[in-house]
Amino acid sequence: MARIDDYRESFRLAAERLVKADLPRVAKFSGADLTVLENGTCRLRLLFFGTPYLVCVNDGVEVIREGKNREVPLPEKILICHYLERARGRPSSDQLITFREIPDGHFYFDAFQRRARDPFLSTFGREAALFRACAEALGGTPVDNGDVGMAFRVLPNITIQIVVWEGDEELSPEATILFDASIEQGLPAEDIAVLSGMLVYRLMGIARTRQTRSV
């Protein structure tokens, strides 16, 4: 588990690189909208899990949500800055890969399983219909894979698929998380593991809300 000081240093370094970046190019390649404010601040607006986020760049970097609840956790700030600074505008490859196939993915595979795949399977492994309902609430779209497969556009140029097979009396449920091969050029493996966990925990949060309301 990363310490708060590690997160702060990671964000500081990412913000430092973003301040020096060619922001019109960043906006073009990342799918963000760029606005230059009267005070010279450059504001990048992009969707993160379907929610508008604002990245304000001047002497430093501020990342906020658009709307009333503007506070953003440090891991989300770091991930968004990494996405922006690494954006190259490469189109989707239409080739799906697993986390193990991502460069350096084997180093972070255990963390990926703990953060994303295992929690997902424990919540939705035998609840494919619940997964579908929660996925649709998060903006997911169906894909033809498994018992239920859903695709999520988590950032403008990054889509993640989650597929579940419910199993039966003889077979245990199974799930897989898939990525377009272009993701390896947009984020490092560690960030992809974190992003996958963010997706799964958002789905789990929706599931808890639904189950609480049904009691």
Fold match flag (4-86 vs 96-214): yes
Task: Identify the CATH class of 96-214.
Answer: alpha beta
pLDDT at 212: 76
Task: Look up the CATH number of domain 4-86.
Answer: 3.30.310
User: What share of the chain has pLDDT > 70, as a percent?
Assistant: 98
Q: Structure tokens of 37?
A: 């404010």
For residue 20, give the 3-state DSSP assignment.
Answer: coil
DSSP state of 37: -
Query: What is the average per-residue pLDDT within 58-87?
Result: 94
Per-residue pLDDT tens over the stretch 146-203: 999 999 999 999 999 999 999 778 889 999 999 999 998 889 999 999 999 999 999 9
Residue 12 has phi, psi (to 5 degrees) of -60, -45
Cα(138)–Cα(199) distance, integer angstroms: 9
Domain ranges across the chain = 4-86, 96-214
pLDDT-derived band at 131 (thresholds 50, 70, 90) equals: very high
Strand partners, 149: 143, 163
Query: What is the DSSP code string of 116-127?
Result: IIHHHHHHHTT-
